[in-house]
Structure formats: structure tokens, C-alpha cells
Amino acid sequence: MDAAQNNNPGALSWRLSSHPITLLTFLAFRISSVLIYFLGLWIIHSMIMIFIITILLLAADFYYLKNIAGRRLVGLRWWNEVNSQTGESQWVFESSDPATKIVNSTDSRFFWLALYLQPVLWLLLAILALVRLQFLWLPLVVIALVLTIMNTLAFSRCDKFGQASNLAGSALGTTNLAGSIASNMFSRFLTRN
């Protein structure tokens, strides 16, 4: 019975991934920055070393997610272009053609769960830092929140709210309502910048 459940498409088993090395590297970057920060709070008391290592891991996670994992796991990519004449910034979103790129449901589930879980973890760590009155750690947490929320918003926008709408729609019971709420919220946020 256990083996049959693990072989279901979309099961959370890295062995069912179409790109297991990409998936494991993606998850390692996502987990390692939070783990190093958490260990820094409780075990290692060298704030400078933890700050530098966590920033490097967050930067590597941001780059890897944006340029490699998003493209290979779910067929999505985003970037920002600046018009050299006007100086205006424009977001560019790219998704692969569903006819040519078949997205593995296991890869997709891991990707979206990790994408949305990371900012929540950093938000909880920010609250923990405030409760424990450790204000020196807040700049690091704010940097982590900015980087993780930026990727989350960009990939949600890039996906044209397909995955986010389905997830929210199943929770609310109507896909159209969730899609329109998410669409309006993200488009207002991204067009302000």
C-alpha cells in the first residue's frame, strides 16, 4: 500500500521527479538558508558569520530559483528589463508552451509548496526575532523576506495565476473568484513599480 501511494503522480517523493538533481538542489537552497539562520540563533553565536553565510545562501537560492529551477521544474522564468532611453523598468514573464513542455506533477507540487512556504517561514522568524527582542537580526530577516516574496510574486504572476488560482480556488470553492482577486492584487503591486 505504501509503495502504491509513493508512485502516484504528484506524490511528494523526489524519486518521481523528472529532474531530481534540480529538485534536490532547489530544496537544499530553500532549506539551508533558514536552517543556517535558525542554527545561528540557537547554537552559533557569531552574528557576522551567520549573516554572511545566510545572505550568500539566499542569493544563491534567488538566482537558482529564478534562472534554473523555475524553468526546469515548471517551465516558468521571469526577469526585469530596463529601457535605456526612458529608464523605465519592465517585468518580463515567460512560460513554456504546454504542447512542448510537459510539467511533472511531482516537480510542480514541490516547486509551489517550497515557493509559498519559504516567505511564511521567514515571516515567522521575523516575529520570533521581535518577540525575543533581537533587533539586530531583523535586517537579515527583512532581506530574506524581500528576496523570497519577490520570487513568489514574480512566479505567481508568470504562471498567470493558474497554479495560485487553482490552489486558492479549491480552498474557496470557486476558481474564478480566487483568480480575479489574485490577478488584481498582483497586477496592482507589479504595475506600481
Cβ neighbors of 144 (< 8 A, separation 6 or more) are 33, 37, 54, 58, 122, 125
Ramachandran angles phi, psi of 67, nearest 5°: -105, -25
The pLDDT of residue 177 is 42
Instruction: Enumerate the domain spans of the chain.
Output: 17-188
Ramachandran angles phi, psi of 79, nearest 5°: -160, 170
Grid cell locating 6 = 509513493
The pLDDT of residue 17 is 66
The pLDDT of residue 62 is 94
Residue with cell 512542448: 100
Whole-angstrom CA distances from 133 to 120, 136, 144 are 20, 9, 19
The pLDDT of residue 54 is 93
The pLDDT of residue 44 is 74
Local structure of residue 15 (DSSP, 8 states): G
Closest CA to 51 of 136, 149, 146: 136
Q: What is the pLDDT along the chain (193 residues), one digit of tens a residue?
A: 444 445 565 556 666 667 788 888 999 999 999 999 888 777 777 788 889 999 999 999 999 999 988 888 888 888 888 888 888 888 877 777 766 777 777 788 888 899 999 999 999 989 988 998 878 888 999 999 999 999 998 888 877 644 443 444 444 343 444 445 445 544 554 455 4
In our burial notation (b when 16+ CB lie closer than 10 A, e otherwise), range 127-153 reads eebeeeeeeebeebbebbbebbeebbb
Whole-angstrom CA distances from 166 to 50, 108, 150, 163, 178 are 38, 13, 21, 5, 8
The pLDDT of residue 13 is 64
The pLDDT of residue 178 is 43
Helices assigned H by DSSP within the chain: 2-6, 20-42, 47-64, 105-131, 138-158, 162-172, 175-192
Q: What is the pLDDT of residues 53-88, one digit of tens each?
A: 999 999 999 999 999 888 888 888 888 888 888 888
Distance, in Å, from the CA atom of 68 to the CA atom of 21, rounded to the nearest integer, reads 11
The pLDDT of residue 1 is 41
Beta strands 76-82; 89-95: pairing state: antiparallel
Cβ neighbors of 107 (< 8 A, separation 6 or more) are 17, 18, 19, 23, 73, 74
